Structure 1
């Protein structure tokens, strides 16, 4: 593996970790304050966008 590939994989891992922290934090806020139930859809959308970005980066690194 080249240095560039390793760097891209590290950035993808960082993106996943930070994204998961944000999504879990948003889920916790919604759990604590039921009046904020609307952001549940935002949390799910964010998780989907995070997975899509991570897969795209990994595919770019492999090819």
Structure 2
């Protein structure tokens, strides 16, 4: 793997972590909706369903 591909992979992981943490924090601030962990995992799942087909292509 080239250095650019590794850098993009690391940045993608960081963005996914920040996205999930943001969703967990938002769900924590509004506890009547759902469990924060459920919202965070749902967000990561949705992000993966969008990103994986693009990366595989």
TM-score bracket for the superposition, by shorter chain length: 0.5 to 0.7
Structure 1's unaligned 5+ residue stretches are 58-63
Matches within 5 A, 1:1-63: 5-37=2-34, 40-45=37-42, 46=44, 49=48
Cα distance, 1:30 vs structure 2: 0.6
RMSD (Å) for aligned C-alpha atoms: 3.0
- In the superposition, the TM-score normalised over structure 2's length comes to 0.63
Number of matched residues?
50
Structure 2's unaligned 5+ residue stretches are none
Deviation beyond 3 Å, 4+ runs, structure 1: none
- In the superposition, the TM-score normalised over structure 1's length comes to 0.58
